[in-house]
Amino acid sequence: MEIKNILRIYHVFLNQSIGQDQYLTLMVILLENLQMLICLRRYFYRDSSNLYKPLITQLQYNICDLLRKSNARNFLEKYAMEHFRIYTNLNHTCPFSGHLYARNFTLDEVSIPPLPLQEYKLSIKFTQTNPSAFLGSVLLYFDATEVYHKKRPHRN
């Protein structure tokens, strides 16, 4: 799949095994250099009418600026930086070129802010400049639930 002659997606995999951590792997080839990469992030919660309502305001990160400076301004930028460092090959500042990947990307209690037990949607949009050059988006649906451990009978 090719997006506006900027990038070509050549591998997408979502592990959906029951009882295991779910993760996403995405690999793309950049057909031209990305001089700037902006990430727009929004959280939504599902209300009693089964509609998703905005949870917090839209968060916008300039990924190039985040990678250029070593310290994050707030805890949400810190979460974003940890994800880039652990799951992607975005280990240098702009321009980006060649192959980019996000491997074994997962959501856990460390990667998102504490949320009440409910159903949520996370929308991540990528643009090259402020929303004029749309590159793609990722929608993640998840439930914040309590950890359940099945009790096993004791052996005598």
* C-beta separation of 88 from 99 below 8 A: no
> pLDDT tens for residues 90-102?
777 788 888 888 8
Which segments within 106-154 are labelled E, that is strand? Answer: 118-127, 134-144
Residue 150: how many other CB atoms lie within 10 Å: 4
Phi/psi for 31 (5° steps) reads -85, -15
Residue of 22 and 20 predicted with greater confidence: 22
DSSP for 16-52? --TTS--EEEEEEEEEEEES--EEEEEEEEE-TTS-E
* C-beta separation of 80 from 38 below 8 A: no
* C-beta separation of 12 from 25 below 8 A: yes
Global model pTM greater than 0.85: no
Residue of 104 and 111 predicted with greater confidence: 104
Query: CA end-to-end span of the chain, whole Å?
Result: 58
pLDDT at 3: 58
- CATH 2.70.220 for the 2-144 domain, yes or no: yes
Segments making up each domain of the chain, as ranges: 2-144
What helix, strand, coil percent values describe the chain, rounded to 5?
A: 10, 45, 40
| R_g (Cα) of the chain, nearest Å | 18
> pLDDT tens for residues 27-79?
888 888 888 888 888 889 998 898 999 987 788 888 888 888 767 777 777 77
pLDDT at 124: 84
User: How would residue 108 be classed by pLDDT, with cut points 50, 70 and 90?
Assistant: low
